Amino acid sequence: MSKKTDKLLALLNGQPVIPVLKIERAKDAVPLARALAKGGLRVIEITLRTKEALEAIERAAKEVEEAVVGAGTILNAKQFKQAAKAGSQFIVSPGATKELFKANRDHDVPLLPGAITPSEMMAALEADVDFLKFFPAEQAGGAAFLKSLASPLAGIRFCPTGGVSAKNANDYLSLPNVVCVGGSWVAPDDMVKQGKWTEIEALAREASKLAKA
């Protein structure tokens, strides 16, 4: 296990579900992060899919002490640096490139890169990365595919994301090579837009009760 993996696992601290968030309005970041943390999901991933994503990361990182804020949908080294500067404690990417692996080596902030093929996973191992995002999980073969990798790629652990929901999360969490899952169901876009923080807290509480078999 790499030192970066150790650091990332320490941040996750056994949390079964990582909320994957698309925040349109930076002002929503703080109440959203607080609601999720109060519901038991301290570790969150704010994706760089909106214009105000970096500001949302910065606000949540600065103002919500109980939250562990990461950045998602990081596609290159420039975004890696921007997210780290904004206060991200970990970086998530839908894929992996030599540029991102170099950024990972050059920064203390750990990277969780995406991979869906054995070749991509082996390339990650060569870059000393052994904790990967399996994305898009359902479309790439789901829990059955990940189960088939547990023996030949026993040194790699995964966080499946993409199509994961409350209905199938346990299919993944029951696998020996899965650490956690990423999902957006704990903070639906419409609830965030309407500021339904109590409802989001309840969804987070339910998700936090999911556990490794």
Q: If we measure between CA atoms, which residue out of 126, 123, 124 comes closest to residue 112?
A: 124
Separation CA 83–CA 141 (nearest Å): 30
In sequence order, what are the beta bridge partners of 69?
44
Q: CA-CA distance, 31 to 201, in Å (whole number)?
A: 10
User: What DSSP designation does 213 have?
Assistant: -
Catalytic, out of 4, 45, 138, 201: 45
Biggest distance spanned by C-alpha atoms of the chain: 46
45 is catalytic: yes
- How far is 90 from 77, CA to CA, in rounded Å? 14
Examine the residue annotation and report whether 133 is marked as an active-site residue of this protein. Answer: yes
Q: Note the helical H segments in 41-141.
A: 53-63, 77-86, 98-106, 118-126
Spatial separation of the C-alpha atoms in residues 186 and 156, rounded to whole Å: 26
* C-alpha distances in Å from residue 125, one per residue of 2, 142, 156: 10, 21, 8
Q: List, in sequence order, every residue forming a beta bridge with 132; answer none if it has no partner.
A: 158
Q: Which of 58, 133, 138, 201 is catalytic?
A: 133
DSSP code of 62?
Answer: H
Active site residues: 45, 133
